[in-house]
Every structure is written in structure tokens, then in C-alpha cells.
Amino acid sequence: MRQGGQAFNRQGGEPSPERLTINDVARLAGVSKKSVSRVINDEPGVSDDTRSKIRALMQELGFIPSRKARALATSKSFLLGLVHNNPNAAYVMELALGAQIVAGEKGFEVIVHAARGVALDDLRNDIKQFAARAGCDGLLLLPPLSESVSLVVDLAALQVPLVRIAGDESDLRVRQIRCREQPAIFDLVNRLLQKGHTNFAFLGGASKSNSTRRRLSAVSDVLFATNGRARLLQIEFGDYTFASGLRLGAEILHANPDVTAIVCANDEMAAGVVHAALSKGVDIPGKVMVTGFDDAPLAMQMWPPITSVRQPIRAMAARAVEVLLDPKLPVDHVEVFACTVIERQSTGLTETADDPSDNAHGY
């Protein structure tokens, strides 16, 4: 009746896309709706004959089962949440794309949720509220949120399936997808050593940030192994933003004119350092070499282009969704991807290495 009302309120004639239901399909196929349901869900209990007949009919009718009804009946929502507070838009979008592609294949949509707030408590509340409201079937947690142990533990207690992207390395009994950063950083610093650098500086994110600590200790491990031939003259901590790179870059250049290599914990900060140097007339890479991390588009777009470490972001996101949706995987399942150094002019490379037509969407 309600349905009829809607149909009649519209002026007749047009090919009114009155929503098909599973009943219509069942009636037209001459089977019970349960059989149709079984086909939709790839469940057994339907003869191959019937199955293909129903499949064909659904195809022909363009029937798409109502997510709303399925959601209510199964108490699943077919929604995944991608939760972040990461200021690097390119990073987030690339992850979102990887997640969207795989999720889409499995009939899920991805809600990108920017957690709001600065204090951890505000973020926590915002995310909890989001989780409750949106009713996602699972959450992907991006760094730096995924690095907060207390937050992750808190969310895990909510009974929502969780996968951390990156995040720290402690065992939280929460599934995780991350990168093996250390070998790439060893490679990176060794290349600088081979170019004869002895006076290094390191620019990290927050000093308590896990990724910063990891990256810093990888750098100092390599330098320590030179037996004092090369040293870390200055260590600064920003907040992974361009602005902090700009400020602390200027500070390093001013305080330690002897520094000839500045290793930064991400590309935004590295870009800030390059910007600060160039605006003061300091030549990059002539006077100082600079490296970043993440291989954001920005790293390639700056002049000079910034040497960085590339993570297979999209593949990680894709895998994260698979892990999230695979109930057979243990809660402490961890997968580790490799990452690679991309050398560019900011460390003295002269040829052009990149195909700049690379971009996140593959257009």
C-alpha cells in the first residue's frame, strides 16, 4: 500500500525505477524467495540449474538486493569505517582508494571518518560515537591514531573488528598491517654515508610517536655503526606537518651550519626543510641533503624532488580490508610489507627517476 502510494504519486509513463524485491525475483523465477536469498549469498542448497536461472534473471532485471533489509536481518551493515586524523590528504585518499576497491568487490562501502579533536580523549569519544552511530562492520585505523595503544585497546573493547594500518609494534591482540621500515632506512642512511656525509640531523614527529621513535633509532643505529665517523648533531621533534618542518628546518640550519644531511620522518616535514633552506638561499642538495618518508606526491613535486621511502599504501589498504573481513584470521594477525628507497635530487641524484604521470587514481 505504501509502495503503491509512492508509485501513483508520480506522473505515470516514465520507466519508474520502482525497487524490485526478492519477492518479485522469486515469483518470476517460480521459486521461493529463500532460494533467491541463497543465490544472493552464495549459499549451498540450490541446484546448479536453479542457481543459474536465478542468477540470469537477477542480471536481466538489474536486481540489487536491498542493503537496508539485509543489514537489519543479518545485523551487519556492509559498511567499513576508515578512521584517521592524518593531515596528509594524499596518504589518506590513497588508502581509502585501496580499501574502496576491495570492499566494493565484497559488497561493502567505506566511510572515511576524520576523527575530530586534538586531545586523545576527544578523539576517542569522537571515534566511539562514530562507531556507534555508523554501525560499521569493521574499522580501519590509520596512523597516527593506530599508534595510540590506549585508543586501540579502547576500541577493541567495543567489540568492533579492527585492523591497524601501521601503528606500533607491541602486541595488542589487534590485527595489523604494517611496513618493515628498518631495512629501507638503513639503505637510505647508508647511501648518505657513501656520499661522504658525517654530520646528520634528524627531524621527527612527536617525540613520543612510535613511528618517529622507530625511524630515529634506525637512523642512529646506522650512524652508531660507523664508530663515530658520522654523528647525529641535532635531533628535533615536530608534528609531521609542513609548518613544523619549516620552523625546525630553519632552526637546524641556523644552529648547526655543519649539518649536511637532514633525515626527516615524513615528506611534509622534509618539504618544510627544503622550503626553509631555499628561502634562506641554502642550496639543496649542494649544501645540505634532505630526505623524507612516505613518498607523498609532494616529495616528487617539490624542486628539488625529495628522496623518500615508498610504502605500498594501496596494496596495504586492500589487504587490510581482506583481513578485516576474514573471520578466520586470529585477532593478533599481523602482515608486514616491504618498502623501498626512492632516490631523487634532494640527495644529489641527477637523472630523473620518476614517471611523474603516476598518480593516486591511475587516471
Contacts with its own copies by CB under 8 A lie at: 17, 62, 64, 66-69, 71-72, 75, 77, 79, 85, 87, 89-90, 92-94, 96-97, 100-101, 104, 107, 109-114, 116, 118, 130, 132-135, 158-159, 239, 241-243, 246, 268, 271-272, 274-275, 278-279, 297-298, 300-304, 356-357, 359-361, 363
Q: Give the DSSP per-residue string, 203-232.
A: EES-TT-HHHHHHHHHHHHHHHTTTTSSEE
Q: Which is nearer to its own copies, 298 or 324 (CB)?
A: 298
As measured in angstroms, the least distance from the Cβ of 240 to DNA is 40
Q: Which is nearer to DNA, 30 or 356 (CB)?
A: 30
DSSP 346: G
Partner residues linked to 81 by β-bridges: 111, 139
Asked whether position 13 contacts DNA by CB under 7 A, the answer is: no
Which one of 10, 27, 68, 287 is in contact with DNA (CB under 7 A)? 68
Identify which range of 14-22, 141-149, 199-207, 226-234 contacts DNA by CB under 7 A. Answer: 14-22
Instruction: Please list the alpha-helical segments (H only) found in the chain.
Output: 2-9, 22-29, 33-40, 48-61, 67-74, 89-105, 120-134, 149-156, 182-194, 210-224, 242-255, 267-279, 297-301, 313-325
Identify which range of 30-38, 111-119, 167-175, 196-204 contacts DNA by CB under 7 A. Answer: 30-38
If we measure between CA atoms, which residue out of 34, 111, 109 comes closest to residue 71? 109
If we measure between CA atoms, which residue out of 89, 148, 92, 160 comes closest to residue 123? 148
Which one of 34, 106, 116, 287 is in contact with DNA (CB under 7 A)? 34
If we measure between CA atoms, which residue out of 215, 203, 344, 301 comes closest to residue 261? 203
Which one of 70, 191, 197, 314 is in contact with DNA (CB under 7 A)? 70
Asked whether position 107 contacts DNA by CB under 7 A, the answer is: no
